Amino acid sequence: MLWAGLRRNIRIRLVVHIGRKNDRSIGDLDNFITGVCDGLMRADPRASLDPLWARPEHSEIHPIRTATVVDDSQVVQIEATKIVDDAEEPWYEITLEGEP
């Protein structure tokens, strides 16, 4: 059975670890939130995708498939934190709750 994703009462907890540098080149917390919310949904069917996605080994993770969130308009809560730390590369912690 394929994962259908979260559809209602979606709550997101996001922690962005940005490393030691925290200036305008890193980005604002609200931009990280937007990018994560958009990335959790399927790509717009009209989007232009890299030909790499046509490979059979990518069929399970293809951008036109729902990753976790069906419609981010159903997000009812977001808790977000940007942390300056010793990370070599930026990374995210994402916790999702909601109803199928």
Beta-carbon contacts of residue 74 (< 8 Å; ≥ 6 apart):
6, 7, 8, 9, 10, 98
Lookup: tokens for 12: 């997101």
Lookup: tokens for 9: 């009462």
The per-residue pLDDT for 81 is 97
Band (pLDDT 50/70/90 cuts) for residue 1 is very low
Query: Does residue 15 carry a pLDDT above 60?
Result: yes
Residue 16 and residue 11: Cα distance in Å, rounded? 16
The per-residue pLDDT for 87 is 87
Tabulate helix, strand, coil % of the chain (nearest 5): 25, 35, 40
- Please list the residues that pair with 83 across neighbouring strands: 17
- Mean residue pLDDT across the chain: 90
pTM (global) more than 0.85: no
Residue 98 and residue 50: Cα distance in Å, rounded? 31
3-state secondary structure of 70: coil
pLDDT in tens, 35-84: 999 889 999 889 899 999 999 999 888 898 887 899 999 999 999 999 99
